[in-house]
Amino acid sequence: MSFPLLTATAAVPAIGAIATAAVPAAKRTVAKWLALLFSLATLVLAAVVAVRFTPGAKGPFQLTESHAWIRSFGVRYELGVDGIAVALIALTALLVPFVILAGWHDADPMEGPEPNRRWRPTQGFFALILAVEAMVVISFEATDVFLFYIFFEAMLIPMYFLIGGFGDRAGSGGEEHSASLRSQAAVKFLLYNLAGGLIMLAAVIGLYAATADQLGSGTFSLTEIVQARADGKLALGTGTERLLFLGFFFAFAVKAPLWPLHTWLPGAMGESTAPVAVLITAVVDKVGTFAMLRFCLQLFPEASSWATPVILVLALVSILYGALLAVGQRDIKRLIAYASISHFGFIIMGIFAMTSQGQGGATLYMVNHGISTAALMLVAGFLISRRGSRLIADYGGVQKAAPVLAGTFLVGGLATLSLPGLAPFVSEFLVLVGTFSRYPAVGIVATVGIVLAALYVLVLYQRTMTGPVKSEVRAMPDLKARELAVVAPLIALLLFLGVYPKPLTDLVNPAVDHTLSVVDQHDPRPDVPVKADAEAAK
């Protein structure tokens, strides 16, 4: 038996979480370094996964591990990755060290006498982040539906405490007021996601029942179910398949927020600290869109095609609605949250366009959106921590006082509006082209999103960074070394993946082709293919 690489990639942050939590109260700094160390170790393992993975090799999943777990219910501990999962694991492992570094002081105890000496917020903060990482990673790896479900749900617990327990020290109504807003946001997050998850649980069990019915013994294994469908051994009735699909999709649409299930996100991202907001939108929410690709489409291909028109319309609404609401926000972090809703609309649109450009683009979009939102949100967090306010109107002329901060903020913003040359452009254009080639009207309307994106980004930049220097802003210090160490690599990555995304597309393309073949969809052919001429010209 070979080394269980995938298990290790999830286990290392889990062990890190326990180790960090166990650090004594007085040794806060040790806990921080420990957390950073474990997150870096996870990054190394994720890199090993990426290297050991062979894009385009035979079979849907690689580096597989499989053990019986709950025999009576056919639940297996089954892990495996395709190119999409490898890309998202890499994204997660990459972002968490930056999240930790950016949140270095976010959980330091308040000044003044400590109310309770046994409460160790710093240790807790970093342990919770690592716990989320572990669960997200295993969600990307699980090929057993039940195993996936457990961690999909379990990650709500650490997220709930991260949102409710740690906020900016920046409320206009005092600490008490912001604590109450925070806990409301956390509860809302929990309720929405629990509701989604519980409906999914019903569908998971329904799926088990159906397989038990037709295959003799029930199974949760994705590969087995897909194989059985292909062999004709398993045939869900149309009605059953649609119901099960909706059960799964509902949970994922809450997590990845799709309009109109999005309303928990602005609160959760607005009230939590910037690093936690990044964790929510860049990492945890990606499990939702990832699961649409892996589970919704592959388990229920016919129902997926059946639901496509409605989902495309909802995605389109998300794109425009999220962008318009972003324009109307007064709070920097809520603005970024609504922008993310718009971007999730693009991702979901790309997935359900059912073309290789659409789904490849959607996968790239997940990665690129993670990096660009992290860059923008973390710089926004640095800005907010300096001034103690999230309101856009409280800023003005920051560019003059802190040019590097303003410059990095602008690059993050330009990535958010998908400027060519930066990574998000590649994915956004692929999604648009992939959608357009099958649904031209949807593609054209979605293009309006690129104008609105420019509007909310540039308005945000103009109001905060340009204009006369406000007196509260005048003495604002520029980015410190630690902060620059967070932002600079993210920006470099945005540039690199914008100019040379080929490593990523090579990784993702075979997995997308596999998904499309399971769903039995083919790219539309051009009217006048001139491919041959192009080859000849070279």
Q: Which of residues 490-529 bind other proteins (CB under 8 A)?
A: 499-502, 505-506, 509, 512-513, 523-529
Round to whole Å and give the CA distance between 456 and 503: 31
DSSP state of 470: P
User: Nearer Cβ to other proteins, position 54 or 180?
Assistant: 180
**Which one among 451, 474, 482, 485 touches other proteins, defined by CB under 8 A?**
451
- Restricted to residues 151-210, the positions that interact with other proteins (CB under 8 A) are 160, 180, 183-184, 186-187, 190-192, 194-195, 198-199, 201-202, 205-206, 209-210
Min dist CB 275 to other proteins, Å, is 23
Q: Are 407 and 326 in contact (CB under 8 A)?
A: no
- Residues in the interface with other proteins (CB under 8 A) total 91
Count the Cβ atoms, other than its own, within 10 Å of residue 153: 19
> 342: which 2 tokens?
């718009």
Quote the Cα angle for 117-122-124, to 5°.
95
Round to whole Å and give the CA distance between 231 and 342: 39
Q: How far is CA 240 from its chain centroid?
A: 30
Half-sphere exposure of 374 (CA within 13 A, CB side): 32
For residue 464, state whether it binds other proteins (rule: CB under 8 A). Answer: no
DSSP 511-530: HHHHHHHHHT--PPPPSS--
Min dist CB 127 to other proteins, Å, is 21
For residue 325, state whether it binds other proteins (rule: CB under 8 A). Answer: yes
- Residue among 433, 465, 463 nearest 446 (CA): 433
Sign of the Cα pseudo-torsion (355, 357, 358, 362, in order): positive
Min dist CB 67 to other proteins, Å, is 24
For residue 361, state whether it binds other proteins (rule: CB under 8 A). Answer: yes
The terminus-to-terminus CA distance of the chain in angstroms comes to: 48
DSSP state of 217: S
For residue 329, state whether it binds other proteins (rule: CB under 8 A). Answer: yes
Min dist CB 537 to other proteins, Å, is 5
- Restricted to residues 415-444, the positions that interact with other proteins (CB under 8 A) are 419-421, 425-426, 429-430, 432-433, 436-437, 440, 443-444
**Which one among 58, 117, 118, 531 touches other proteins, defined by CB under 8 A?**
531
For residue 357, state whether it binds other proteins (rule: CB under 8 A). Answer: yes
Min dist CB 447 to other proteins, Å, is 5
Quote the Cα angle for 224-228-234, to 5°.
125
Q: Which stretch binds other proteins (CB under 8 A): 102-110, 307-315, 317-325, 387-395?
A: 317-325
For residue 75, state whether it binds other proteins (rule: CB under 8 A). Answer: no
For residue 365, state whether it binds other proteins (rule: CB under 8 A). Answer: no
For residue 150, state whether it binds other proteins (rule: CB under 8 A). Answer: no
For residue 260, state whether it binds other proteins (rule: CB under 8 A). Answer: yes
